[in-house]
Structure 1
Amino acid sequence: RMIETRLLIHREEGWAALTYLWNDAQTEAVLHRIGEAVPLTLVRENGTKEPFNYIVPNVTQCSACHATNVATRVIQPIGPKARLMNHDFTFAGKSENQLTRLVDMGYLKGLPAQKELPLQVSWVDTTASVDARARAYLDVNCGHCHTPQGPAGTSGLYLDASATQPKPTGVCKLPVAAGAGTGNLLYDIVPGKADKSIIPYRMHSINAAEMMPEIGRSTRDDEGIALIRFWIDAMEGSCQ
């Protein structure tokens, strides 16, 4: 069942975000600026059924993620990054690097040599280290806000791929303005103790005042939560 189609359209004045809501007959999608809550049932891999409201964003909510620079508030795409696209995919039965494919199609110019291209592992790639997978998950799902220039820049918690030092990435870091989102926990990440860490707590919550991301979900990503908890539990050290 198709629920919505979101478009980012580049116009002379910049990017515009538009959401189209599909009708029950699945024959037409109409521009829908005010948002919508669509009742659905999520069927988990184990067969359990979970009712939830699928939230279609209104036009102003799109900037919450797509305005990655809080100073300019300019909307832009957040998905196409070289480090994420530098992987082989199957095109018309042929496996080919996605960036190379875009060059061949005439959509991309000036691509550096393959060895110079950045590469980020997929968080579901079990051949990669747990640290690399967890950082990739946080980068994709949280990093566009949690950067020094992003909407969550004042939090001091940076989860994009460029963040490297322990404190900015949350290890033994006190929250700045999480409010109820802390769950009465002290640190974003406590090495070896996922149960004492704020990040997995907020990932698990579906309470609007606590959950992260703040918009864009109304269910839990059990697999992602399990990865982040495993990553934290495997860390060495303490916050004393």
Structure 2
Amino acid sequence: MSLPLLVTGTIGIDTILTPSGRADGVLGGSVSFAAVAALLFADRVDAVSIIGEDFPAHYEAALEAKGVCMNGVERKKGPSFSWTGEYFDNMNKRRTVCANDSVMLEWDVHVPEPLRNHPVLVCCCMVPAQQLKCMEQCPDAALVLSDSMDKWLRRQPELLDAVISRSHITMMNEDEAKEYAQASTVMEAGEFLLSKGAAYAVVKQGEYGATLLGRDAGGNLRMFRCPAYPLKTLVDPTGAGDTF
């Protein structure tokens, strides 16, 4: 029997552009990917998020069919969170064409009372202020993991600092971690994340895997490198970081 997870972040509608084609109006959002991936390891995963009135009912049903508990997901008037992203021949790089935070901007985060005692809280990528509200409503979580992305490094760095300080594990991709730390190497960036208060930092490196950094009881820096499984053909990497 595994510990139940509370996963919070965005659930939305994506448009994806890649060298091999285009997909319009597909299920997206950090919670969608992270929650389904977590079900490979956890018996219960509860989602806390918000969707708009335009969110397709069959996508909501698809997440429930996978086993994601959607009782903590609110549906409000207005358009759902949406993201349009473009990938190039090197799919480690992406460009945000358009992002519409929509109902996310008006979301007054509320974690239902029965979910506040979940021992594991996964704060996927979303507005840092909303991540903090989730953390405040789940003060007894034994393990808190947070993720972020480039636009919050630039728009709300102080709030991002606060999120990391309350996280046991914090995650960023390599480019974002280096930008945040104003560093040129993964090791420097990882050490900077640790300096903000997280016990462990994970720097995601796309097809090259990931690096985990932490400190031992003596304060010495420790590192673990995990390679990625190589793929001959890559079609769409959207959500890979969230599932990780």
TM-score when normalising by structure 1: 0.26
| Higher share of residues assigned strand | 2
* Structure with more relative contact order (C-alpha pairs < 8 Å, separation 6 or more): 2
| Higher share of residues assigned helix | 2
